[in-house]
Structure 1
C-alpha cells in the first residue's frame, strides 16, 4: 500500500495540472511581492493609541517620534497664532525654506548637478489621502515598470501639513539627493471648487487666501518643485473634479500664484476623458486601476485580484 501511494505521488502530472500548479505558484509569488510592498509603506501621520500616563508622555515629549502629537504650551492656548500647528508651519523646514543665501541660479545649478546622468528619471510624487475609499490598495496598482513613481499614503484624520512636507523631503532624498518634483499627483476627496486635503482643512479659493497654515503649505510645497524642468511642473488632482465650477479655476490660479516664482500648472481632468486616461497611465497600471475602480466601493474587495 505504501509503495502504491509512493508510486502515485511520483507520477508526472498532466500538462493541465502542471500549468495550473505554475499559475498558482505565480499568483502566490505575486501576492507575496505585493504584500511586501504594502508592508513597507507606512501611513504618514498615523497615530497608534497607547496606554500612557501623563508623566510618561511628558517625559518622552522631547524624544518623541515626528508623528506624535506636538505639545502645546499652556499660555499658547490663549493666542491662536501661537498654536502648535501654526508654530510647526514655521518650524524646522522653514529654516531651509526661508534661507535666501542662495539665489535662484545657484539653487538651479545645484539641482542640475544632482540630476546629471542618463539614468536619471525625474521623480513623480503620488500623494494619497486615506479618505479615498480603498486607498490602502492604491500603492499596489501603480506602474511597476516606472521606479520614478513614489507613493506617499497619509492619514487624513491625523496627519499635518508638516508631516506631508517632511515625508516628501525624505522620499526625494532617498530617490536622489538634490532632485526635485517634475510631476505630482494629489489623490484626495473634494468636489467642484474645493479639495479636502486634511481633516477640517478644505482648500477653497477663499480659505487658501485666508488661512495662513494652508497658504504656507503651498508655498513650502513649491520649494520641492523643479527649477530645471523646461516645462511647467505639473500637479494633477485626482479623486474629485475641482473644475466643476468657476471657483475651481480661481482656486488653481490662487495656488499657482502662491507657488511663484516656481512654474507650476494644475490639471484635474475627468477620468473617463482622453486626458484623464493619459493621466492615469502616467502613474498607474491601467488594467489594475480599472479593476480597483470597479471594486472601490465594494465590501467584498478581493485583494488577490490586484496582482
Structure 2
C-alpha cells in the first residue's frame, strides 16, 4: 500500500498525506527501481529527516521490535536476572516526575535541592558559546506541520523543533523527547523559551487527541495537570527573567477563560517562573514572536500556501 501510494503521488504533492513514514518506507523499498528511472531524490532525502514525528505508532512498533529482538538474543543459560520495571521505580528513560520531585500545596519542591540544581545548570551552561535553548513543539494537527521544521531561523542553532503525532503521542512521549533533545543540545541545559504550535481557540489548547487544555480540565484531570508540572522541570532556573512560553496557531486569549487558563498553568508550574503569551500573528507582538523562531520570509510563504496543494519543498529552500 505504501508503494502504491508513493507511485500515485503527483509532482506537487509528493509525500503521502496519511502518514509521513509511508514516504520513507516507500523510498527505501523502491530504491533500485528509482535508480533505473533516474529520479533525483537527494532534495527529498534531506527533507525526510524533518518528518519524524514523536509518538507515531510506527516508531513505537520499531522500538518494541528492537526490545523483543534483544530479549530473544539472550542466552537461555545466562543466569543474570532481567530487571523489570515496577510501578515504584523509574523507567530506563527516566521517570521525570520522580527524578524531579513533587510540588506540595505551597508550591515548594520536595525531594530536590533547588540551589544545587541551579548550580548544576549554571555549570552546564558556562562558556561564551552557549545560547539558551528554545524548544518548539509542533502538533501534526497543524496544516502542513511537516514543513515547519524547515522554515525555522537558520542563523539560530538554539531552536530545537519537535514534531509530535497529535493522534498517537502521549504526554510522556513529549516530555521524554524534550529531555532527550535538551541533553543532546547540552547535558544539563534547560529551555528559556518555548513555542507551542497547535490548534485551539479562545480559552483552550488542543494539545493531543481527546486532550483539550481548558481551565476546568486542567484543574480536574490529573494527567493534564501533571504534564504542565513536569514540563516546568525543563525550564531554566538561572534565567534572570521569567521563562517564556509562546502559544501559536490559535488565539487563547480570545475570551476571559484564556487568561484563567494561563494563570492556572503558571500556578501549576511554580516555583519555576514562567510567562505565557498568545499574541495575534498580525500584531506587532505577533510579528516579534514569529521572528524569534522563524525565517520570516519562509514563514510567510508557508502561511500563504498552508491550505494549498501547491506547496512544494523546493519553494522553501
The interval holding the TM-score normalised by the smaller chain is 0.7 to 0.9
Correspondence for 2:213: 203
Correspondence for 1:141: 151
Correspondence for 1:92: 95
Distance in 1, Cα, partners of 2:70 & 2:278: 42
Residues 51 and 146 in structure 2, CA contact (< 8 A), matched pair in contact too? no
Going from structure 1 to structure 2, the CA distance change for 1:289 and 1:156 (only over 3 Å counts) comes to same
Distance in 1, Cα, partners of 2:184 & 2:59: 29
Correspondence for 1:28: none
5+ residue gaps, structure 1, are 1-30, 64-83
Distance in 1, Cα, partners of 2:288 & 2:142: 21
Correspondence for 2:250: 240
Going from structure 1 to structure 2, the CA distance change for 1:290 and 1:268 (only over 3 Å counts) comes to same
**Number of matched pairs:** 249
Residues 173 and 179 in structure 1, CA contact (< 8 A), matched pair in contact too? yes
Correspondence for 1:255: 265
Going from structure 1 to structure 2, the CA distance change for 1:139 and 1:271 (only over 3 Å counts) comes to same
TM-score, L = length of structure 1: 0.76
Q: Please say if 1:162 is aligned against 2:165.
A: no
Correspondence for 1:132: 142
Distance in 2, Cα, partners of 1:162 & 1:97: 14
1:269 equivalent among 255, 279, 293: 279
What is the Cα deviation at residue 94 of structure 1?
A: 2.1
Q: Please say if 1:288 is aligned against 2:298.
A: yes
Residues 237 and 272 in structure 2, CA contact (< 8 A), matched pair in contact too? yes
Correspondence for 2:28: none
What is the Cα deviation at residue 179 of structure 1?
A: 0.5
Q: Whose radius of gyration is greater, 1 or 2?
A: 1
Residues 50 and 150 in structure 2, CA contact (< 8 A), matched pair in contact too? no
Q: Tell me which stretches of 4 or more aligned residues in structure 1 moved more than 6 Å.
A: 49-52
**RMSD value over aligned CA atoms?**
2.7
2:310 equivalent among 296, 300, 303: 300
Residues 50 and 149 in structure 2, CA contact (< 8 A), matched pair in contact too? no
Residues 45 and 163 in structure 1, CA contact (< 8 A), matched pair in contact too? yes
**What SS does the corresponding residue of 2:161 show, helix, strand or coil?**
strand
What is the Cα deviation at residue 32 of structure 1?
A: 5.1
Correspondence for 1:48: 58
**What SS does the corresponding residue of 1:153 show, helix, strand or coil?**
strand
